[in-house]
Amino acid sequence: MNKLILAVSIALSFLEPVSAADADSDYAAIYPLAHNMGETPEGAAYESVFSQAFARPMQSVLQDCTKGTQAPYIVNVVFVIAADGTTQRIVPAPGQPVSACVAAKLKSLKLPPPPKPNWMVAVNINIKE
């Protein structure tokens, strides 16, 4: 699995704060916004700390969520993070069982406090082998 994790390509994107109603939008509405805002100065700064906190739990969850299956795996989720770093919600892409599993298993993940409340991070992982 260590080789597998090395082959993972993670794209992290960040979104400025949104209202709770916006955070309840479906993946199709949330992801493009997060992706488009991914190059903000705040997003670039938060990417490093998010990645460090996210890497180890994600590796463990990927092992569980892909057990008994074969690659390729695609994981597309959007994290909605509270001001204190609490994961408020993880929205998985529809039709992706591994994404749904990852979202369910990481729902209690404590992350570093983001620059602003209701911060969103889009995570895209493609594992080919």
Instruction: Map out the domains of the chain as residue ranges.
Output: 2-127
The β-bridge partners of 127 are 73
Please count the other Cβ atoms lying within 10 Å of the Cβ belonging to residue 17: 14
Helix (H) or strand (E) holding 50, with range, is helix 41-65
User: What's this model's pTM, rounded to 2 decimal places?
Assistant: 0.78
| 3 state DSSP class of 115 | coil
What's the confidence (pLDDT) of residue 39? Answer: 73
What's the confidence (pLDDT) of residue 17? Answer: 44
pLDDT averaged over consecutive 10-residue blocks of the chain (129 residues)?
A: 38 41 66 76 87 94 92 92 95 94 96 91 90
Distance CA 51, CA 58 (A): 10
Distance CA 12, CA 34 (A): 9
The β-bridge partners of 125 are 10, 75
